[in-house]
Chains A and B, each alone.
Chain A
Amino acid sequence: MSTATAPISAPSPDGATPDVIMSAEGISKRFGAVVALSDIDMHLNRGEVLGLVGDNGAGKSTLVKILCGFHRPDTGRIFVEGREVSFHSVQDARAYGIETVYQDLALVPQLTVYENLFLNRELTSLGKIGMLSRRRMRRLARHYLNDIRVNVPDLDAEVELLSGGQRQAIAVARATRLNAKILLLDEPLAAMGAKESALIMELVRDLSARGVSMIVIDHNYAHLFALCDRLNVIQQGRVTVDTKVAETSIEELTEMMVSAFRRQLEAGQEALGEISV
């Protein structure tokens, strides 16, 4: 892992250079013939909540999975706190305080609440043998859930038996419990009821207030405008718009997305036209 200086991010309108906690430059990723990301540049400022918007398949989830070490990019460089990093696994990224709440939550239905909370970070004794310290895990699990004000009735319940909101809360609690510095949230409000959404949003705001920097993917603009400081629009594997939430509106963003979609359609029709000639 070599050290290098972080790319200078664009100065913000008021002239001050924001403190960049994480950035990526020139990230590309293909899966076979499918180009998921092509030469993407992005950055996350310290303490901000950055929203990622884009159509399905635009590459948002792939970007998050690269930033958290699950996928390796084909090209490009990632910087954390100004130092270039190279993640070979999720564990590598964790060492830098990067935690993720995946779209599918990455919970195991047959394991209990506390086993899921401690998945892959189990408290153990007897060294190499790795005997589980269930009592300690239960106690700490209760503590963590209280800490982020989530109440799950039974820590010994299998996650399979919990509601969508409870599962989501457990996934968030797992990601934040080790003092995450950077939290990546892939559609944290998907398939949530209104009440559950409100509670998860409260949780996210609470974490943001504690200084956690976050990247949030969501399809719902109302959620994003309520949560985020800044928005990046990703289309066809590229960041096409980078705007502060305070400087735009839902209408303007929708218009930008639609016009881009229209351009795509027209380009597609031209291409079809050429073929039919």
Chain B
Amino acid sequence: MAQAAVTTGDRSPELPALPLEAGQGVTPLSVLKAAIQRREATVIVVTIGAILYFAVRAPAFHSVANIIVICQYIAPIMVIGAGEVLMLVLAEIDLSAGQVYLTAPWFAYWFWTGGVPFGFAVIIALALSVAIGLINGLFTVRLGVPSLIVTLGTLYTFFGFVLVKSSYTQEEYPGRGVAGSGAPDGWTKYFGVGSWSTILWGLGITLLIWFLLKRTRFGVHTTAAGGNLLGAAEAGVPVKRIKVWCFMIIAVAAGFMGILDSVRIGSINPGNSGLDIVLTPIVAAVIGGTALTGGRATVLGTIIGAIFLGILEDGLNIIGVQASWFFFFEGVIILIAMAANVQLGRLAVRFRR
């Protein structure tokens, strides 16, 4: 255990030095220790390795056009992944977020085709996304159903709902020249269609979630509820309300990114399954260094995890590997990254003592 128990001596009024600030000086060993103590360490190293590998193998990899493609792939993974960080830090999970990402564009579409201006239709769709999050949250904290099961329920409910309501037909989406929806160089330039639009929105929302988790009272309460649910409640933290809020935050973030991507792509397809979409962000969060057991989370790791998955998917494609190999490598990477995280975690604890 740590040194010295409660002692009565040494009552210096100054603040203690932060572990790496002043005092010890920076040595290669201290840098190594600091790196290992960062939960994001593994994924940073692996991502840099992947970037170098693909950049050497295929010059097309680091063309601007390709970087745009990667960014568009990464944006929703990053946002939903950051939302899953809120879930995982609470020791919960939301499998429905991918379905909300697919369903919110349909909500907006139906209101829009019903005569509501698209801007209002989007706001209504986001409100309905929040409502799905509310349902997930209330079933979890009020009825005590595990969130894994609740969100699996809402996932299938809305997958089925969209299939039936859309009559299994793909539809064109406002944004890319659909009549009355504004030209591509109008508002849509900033709302999905512009090359960097989705990644900028994505980064903005992800950093907002990072700020919420790491810099606010709400974030401390979220970590507390995940780290020691009973203890947090005993300290007076409204743990149930915190959980419901987090379910609503991930839902509205996923819904927003879904609408943005639908505007970018220009069509929506009822056959897509939210389960395929939600698993990649969860992988991004987990290989980024967020624990499944609650209380420990890193949004920055999730961003890097999403970048890594984007690079892997795109890079394999560019060097001519068959697309399906992506799943194979994603699987292998999960196993390796998780094993490394567990081992490095042990090492980090030993260093801290």
Contact = CB atoms under 8 A, between A and B. Distances in A.
Contacts of A249: none
B26 interface: no
Interface stretch (A3-11, A142-150, A214-222, A226-234): A142-150
Nearest to A92: B236
B5 A106 contact: no
A108 B6 contact: no
A199 B4 CA distance: 13
Interface stretch (B10-18, B78-86, B316-324): B10-18
B114 interface: no
Nearest to B5: A165
B220 A115 contact: yes
A190 interface: no
Contacts of A107: 228, 231
B8 A151 contact: yes
Interface string A125-168: 00001111000001100110010011111111100011101101
Interface stretch (B27-35, B152-160, B211-219, B256-264): B211-219
Contact of B215 (A131, A142, A166): A131
A110 interface: yes
Given A153-B4, A196-B6, A102 B216 contact: no
Contacts of B15: 138-139, 142, 155
A264 to B, nearest CB: 30
B226 to A, nearest CB: 8
Contacts of A258: none
A196 B11 contact: no
Contact of B221 (A120, A163, A169, A193): A120
A111 B223 contact: yes
A221 B296 CA distance: 40
Interface residues of A, number: 50
A85 interface: no
A151 B4 contact: yes
A161 B353 contact: yes
A89 B4 contact: no
A169 B4 CA distance: 13
A61 to B, nearest CB: 11
A163 B234 contact: no
A100 B150 CA distance: 35
Interface in A65-124: 70, 89-91, 94, 100, 102, 104-111, 115, 119-120, 122, 124
B236 A120 contact: yes
Contacts, number: 128
Given A90-B236, A108-B228, A119-B237, A150 B6 contact: yes
Contacts of A70: 233-234
B220 A122 contact: yes
A94 B236 contact: yes
Contact of A109 (B5, B10, B11, B295): B295
Contact of B13 (A142, A169, A196): A142
A91 B296 contact: no
Given A132-B220, A195-B5, A146 B13 contact: yes
Nearest to A169: B6
B212 to A, nearest CB: 9
The residue in B219, B221, B231, B352 that gathers the most chain A C-beta atoms within 10 A of its C-beta is B231
A91 B233 CA distance: 11
B35 to A, nearest CB: 18
Contacts of B8: 149, 151, 199
Contacts of A122: 217, 220
Interface in A236-276: none
A155 to B, nearest CB: 6
B200 interface: no
A229 to B, nearest CB: 25
Interface of B: 1-11, 13-16, 18-19, 215-221, 223-224, 226-228, 230-237, 295-296, 349, 352-353
Interface of A: 70, 89-91, 94, 100, 102, 104-111, 115, 119-120, 122, 124, 129-132, 138-139, 142-143, 146, 149-157, 161-163, 165-166, 168-169, 193, 195-196, 199-200
11 contacts: A70-B233, A89-B236, A105-B231, A106-B234, A108-B295, A110-B295, A111-B223, A119-B232, A130-B216, A163-B5, A166-B5
**In the complex, the 5 A-B pairs of residues with the closest C-beta atoms, listed nearest first:** A130-B217, A90-B236, A110-B295, A106-B231, A106-B234
Given A70-B234, A108-B232, A132-B215, 11 more contacts: A90-B234, A104-B231, A108-B228, A119-B224, A130-B216, A130-B217, A132-B216, A132-B217, A149-B11, A165-B6, A193-B5
